[in-house]
Copies of this chain bind each other. A is one copy, B any other.
Amino acid sequence: MSGKRSLIRSGTTVDQMVRAIGDRIVTGYLRPGEKLDETSLAARFDVSRTPVREALGQLSAMGLVERRPNRGAIVAVVTQEHLASIFESMAELEAICARFSAERMTSNERRRLEIEHQASARMVQLGAKEDYEYFNHEFHSRLYRGAHNTHIHDLTVMTRSRLAPFRRAQFMLPGRLAKSWQEHDLIVTAIMRGDSVAAGKAARDHVSIVSEASAVFAADDRKPIRRDVA
């Protein structure tokens, strides 16, 4: 190989591959079921097959990629049933995070949560889906961190990444933006008054609704269209 691959940020080549391929899966650019050819990927990213292979192995360990011995790797394909189980897990995990957050967030964390949440109200008014999506992501991350439990945090983030391809389109549903904000509001209120039970319930309900909203789109998502790899 020749030219030093530029762009893509630091870390070892393997890490870059994990991020690069993982991103493409999580963002839905690579569809479930799509073939991940080592040679093409290597060529596409201008590296040898070795780091690509290692990356695929790690992604497989994370559940984003499915590997059939001697038969190549594909983007993990989840059955409707498995997807439901992930969503349900997500609801429970978020409930735990919210519950712990209500009990453990520092006053600083509570303040920030409230402020950012209020700020996101503006995005709703403007109907700025993209921006709200960002706020939404941040909002949930705050809950995960606010639980002050590293392992739960990791599990939750991991689970969220597995859902990412399926929940992307959720804010396309009319009125979903405002509803989402109101659901967040319930969570925030509960957390602010330290009501862990209410916070947990609100968070669980929130995810359940997202789950249903996403199910609408999941139906469309089962044509593993073959597109150029990258």
Binding site for B on A (CB under 8 A): 11-12, 14-15, 50, 53-54, 57-63, 69-70, 81-82, 85-86, 88-89, 92, 96, 149-152, 154-155, 159, 162
A152 touching B89 in the complex, CB below 8 Å, given contacts A53-B54, A54-B54, A54-B57: yes
The residue from B14, B89, B152, B154 contacting A57, defined by CB atoms under 8 A apart = B14
Q: CB distance B53 to A85 under 8 Å?
A: no
* Oligomer copy total: 2
Q: Which B residues are in CB contact (< 8 Å) with A81?
A: 150
- Sorted nearest first, the 8 A-B pairs with minimum C-beta distance are A61-B61, A58-B61, A89-B151, A86-B151, A85-B149, A85-B151, A85-B150, A89-B152
Residue of B at shortest CB range from A56? B54
- Majority-rule SS of A interface residues: helix
A88 touching B154 in the complex, CB below 8 Å, given contacts A12-B69, A58-B58, A69-B11: no
Per the bound structure, the CA–CA distance linking A57 and B14 in Å amounts to: 9
Q: Which B residues are in CB contact (< 8 Å) with A159?
A: 151, 155
Residue of B at shortest CB range from A83? B151
Per the bound structure, the CA–CA distance linking A81 and B151 in Å amounts to: 10
A63 touching B155 in the complex, CB below 8 Å, given contacts A54-B53, A88-B149, A92-B96: no
Output the least CB separation between A88 and chain B (Å): 6
Residue of B at shortest CB range from A154? B63
Taking each of A60, A89, A154, which has the highest tally of chain B beta carbons within 10 Å of its own beta carbon? A89
Q: CB distance B149 to A89 under 8 Å?
A: yes
Taking each of A15, A70, A81, A155, which has the highest tally of chain B beta carbons within 10 Å of its own beta carbon? A155
Output the least CB separation between A172 and chain B (Å): 25
Q: Which B residues are in CB contact (< 8 Å) with A155?
A: 89, 155, 159
Per the bound structure, the CA–CA distance linking A146 and B194 in Å amounts to: 33
